[in-house]
Amino acid sequence: DTLATLGFAVVGMVILTGLSVLLVTFFPRQISHIEEAMRARPRGFGGVGIAVYALALGIFFAMILLLATLPPLGLLLVPVFLIFVLLLVILTMTGLVTAVIMIGDWLLSRTSRMPAPPLVAAVAGSLALSVALGAVALLPFGFAISLLLLGLFSAVGMGASLFTRIG
């Protein structure tokens, strides 16, 4: 069980670090706009992100109900649902990467006098967040707590991504 948790943490760390590097490299301006918005109102965006998660959960259950009761209509709406899921994943990932950059900036500002480039902050933040969540996951009920914390971080980022229209 502990070995599986550590393996999951390592895989998550590699994925988050790679995604962070890619997004910062290819979309620096958009990530910068989202970061500015997150620094301005993190609590407000957290509420928006949680509301979007609740809406997504409601749409998911409505889609299941629609497929069970009216299969032809449900099947017609599957492509719309998949587009919605893709948009939700994009918002979540851009927001999470922006939150990771902010964590990395905070950590690097504590250890260095010079500001770090966003790419370095993204790598440092994703490694720090992954290690912290992996450590929490080793505690009793830690995996659920770790997922909840990851959801909260991504909710703040998703709210900022949504409000800035992805930068």
The Cα–Cα gap between 140 and 19 comes to: 29
Per-residue pLDDT of 124-156, as tens digits, reads: 999 999 889 888 988 888 888 988 998 888 898
Number of other CB atoms surrounding residue 165 within 10 Å? 10
Q: Cα 90 to chain center, whole Å?
A: 9
Residue whose C-alpha is closest to residue 15's, from 140, 113, 100: 100
Confidence of residue 51 (pLDDT cuts 50, 70, 90): very high
The Cα–Cα gap between 111 and 139 comes to: 28
What's the whole-model pTM score? 0.83
Sign of CA dihedral 99, 103, 108, 110: positive
Residue 35 pLDDT greater than 90, yes or no: no
